[in-house]
Structure 1
């Protein structure tokens, strides 16, 4: 493209020089020739005037007097009736420019000049025009190279940006070139890079959240299936199968919830639900895991609370807190329900060392963990809580106290669940 731009610019300049240069040469040649002819005519007229004035004054006319009236490079021939012709200067050879004037008494003056002087003047003019044309061509080439670089370098950069986007590097460059059309393309590429970066981030986040959130239901489901495989009691098999089906429903709910949050984190399916049922369910699910670690999980506090939210999401938040206490905490884990203002609160605490001081303000950030874990669980739990209009906070670092705040509804225990508009 650079070569095409240079060639096209140079071609335009050459055409302009050819058109105007030839025209200028023709005009200048004619002007020089006309000027030379007018000069010779003027000199012949002056000589005839001198001759007439001397004839009227009966003065003598000789070559010396006439030589003073004409240019040294010119030749003059004077013919007067009854007198010998008078020649002034050396007669030129070859092509000449001549002028003839006739006086009132029959005298005749002819002035001649070699056309070579005109040729020399035309040659000097052509050299000047040629030098100007050459300077114009050099300037045009330099300008074309500069303009080509100004246009091709941004295009090369934009091509590299597009290639980087295609190779999976969506970082915007925020580079502009001072050319409106190219800057518009750069704006579009940067916007596309930002959108691609957001999409890639969302996909990676969804994959990380899914792997983390599905782990707990799958572990619980695996435990129930193991119980079924080692027992011959039909009642036990039936009970464990029902619990396994509940785990499958929770697994489905987790998947649906993750997909919903991936599309729009603010989307929720809030209903009025019994908080006791969610707490009881989580304790029953996690009790075997705690028992195998020689620990216990218990509950206390106010019962009969109803809250507004998504039961599946609330269960996932509590599961994340209980699992966090199992992995990082110690001793007995307690779930305590209480009421503050118009909110129902579920606190999860344990007897472990708590949250390090330097992590207290960042504990809900992704990839932040006190040990070698993913650092995703608490971040996902906070997102789930906020999606339903609640909030998850760390009330105390040592011993750790996490609290889930939900909108509380004071209803009778027998009132069924209903969607909240």
Structure 2
């Protein structure tokens, strides 16, 4: 923007200066020519008394002396045809002046000045001189150079002033852009210092108000999520007491483990809602091998109860990924939960975790009927669920610098591929 404003100022300055300096330069040339012509005419007219009254010898001496002083050729044409001074042929201007008319005419050598002298007994004499072109343009080149330098100087001054004015506009706009990018990167404490014209200060104030309003809305939303999650602790406590009161130790242990996992998920949700970092994404990293192994072990108990065969293929760890352990655990639970929710009992499934081109790839494949046709969107499901499970997995994948891929298996069923990138430094 500064460059465009400077270019605009330069263009306007050049046009304005051209409109003024070109006529001024022509005027300087005309004035110089007229000044040389007036000087030559005045010097020539000083000969009129001598030419009108003196004898030819006196006229010759006077003409030669004036020609030597002025540096211009001077000739006197007497009525009898005698030419005194510079020997030149009679020109049309001289012939016209012999009839009693003084004039100035342009010639190949410069500007010709002829003066008719009347009062001689033998007729009208004519005094002729020529102003060379070097005298007609004396000082014009220097004046033009001065005008050109003045024009360049004025353009440069205009550019400096335009740049200063542009800086007062560009700097607040740049700050507005930087703060908007910081807000987009979750730096909600970023604010703009109002500066520049009134319109930009108003925009800065509006952006600061918007940032503050976003902070308030997010704080209220997180508090509501935290409060809702906290309310789940009471029924969880009841479930724990009910599990501990079971007579079968195995059932009590299994239910207690499930309640512990649910309580950890609720605690993680509260912590994430209330104490989320204000950094770029607020996420850490974890060992994918440990998290996936722990969650598969948890679901293996339910798989055994429903007659499902679980095939687990874990690459040797650690496998660091750029997503927090609770979010990765939630994504794995969502994928495995879909297998249990949308395939009949006894349907086998496979969980594979491996390195793949600098990323970690988690594959969950089942031999069920496959996914319904159509895209899967958050909150929408074609299989009677909430439609949030795959969205949780997809958000975890994107948070970890990867993506979620869904496709059909070679022998039917569904293959969910969760790609996760390495932790960010």
Indicate the TM-score class for this superposition, using the shorter chain for normalisation.
Answer: 0.3 to 0.5
Larger radius of gyration: 1
With the length of structure 2 as denominator, give the TM-score of the two structures. 0.45
